[in-house]
Structure 1
Amino acid sequence: MRFIDELYELYRGHFNGDEEDITAIVVGVLEEQSKEELHSIVKAMDEEELFHMLAIYMIEVLRRKVAMDDERPSTSFVH
């Protein structure tokens, strides 16, 4: 993906393998983008890139929902 390649080249010296650094850079860059710019990035993706992006997003959201359910006390009552 061209956007990722450009982002990597721009921040190559800042990545040290730490996931927190990568997350901070990605979040910071995305926060600077307008909705239209984000749409442009998505439109530039080929079908496989779009599939992987959506798959990773959906997997992460479902993991969070499952984790939240696991943290909640059971609401079932025994009569």
Structure 2
Amino acid sequence: MRFIDEVYELYRGHFNGDEEDITAVVVGILAEQSRDDLLDLVEEMDEEELFHMLATYMIEVMKRKVAMEDEHFPTSIMH
């Protein structure tokens, strides 16, 4: 995706491989975008990019739901 390539080039020297750095940059950039801007980015995606974006999103949401459920209803260990 051209947008990601541009962001990467802009911040290339600032990333040290730490996921938190990457997350902070991405969240900061996305927070500045309007809904229409975000939809334009999606429109530029090819089918494979769109599939991977949705798959990644859905996987992360499911992980969070499972983790929240585990916090509320911890499984008991039987001896």
**1:73 Cα offset (Å):** 3.3
- The residue that corresponds to 2:58 in the other structure is 58
**Counterparts of 1:4 and 1:16, CA distance in 2:** 17
Aligned residues: 74
Residue 73 of structure 2: SS of its match in structure 1? coil
TM-score by length of 2: 0.91
**1:53 Cα offset (Å):** 0.2
TM-score by length of 1: 0.91
**Counterparts of 2:17 and 2:73, CA distance in 1:** 37
**Counterparts of 1:73 and 1:59, CA distance in 2:** 21
- The residue that corresponds to 1:25 in the other structure is 25
**Counterparts of 1:73 and 1:46, CA distance in 2:** 40
**Structure 1 vs Structure 2 CA RMSD:** 0.9
Once the two structures are superposed, the pairs formed by residues 38-77 of structure 1 within 5 Å of their partners are 38-73=38-73
Tell which has more relative contact order, 1 or 2 (C-alpha 8 A, sep 6+): 2
Write out per-residue CA displacement over residues 17-66 of structure 1, whole angstroms, 9 at most, x where no aligned residue. Answer: 00000000000000000111000000000000000000000000000000
Off by >2 Å, runs of 4+ in structure 1: none
**Counterparts of 2:67 and 2:56, CA distance in 1:** 16
Percent identical among aligned pairs is 74
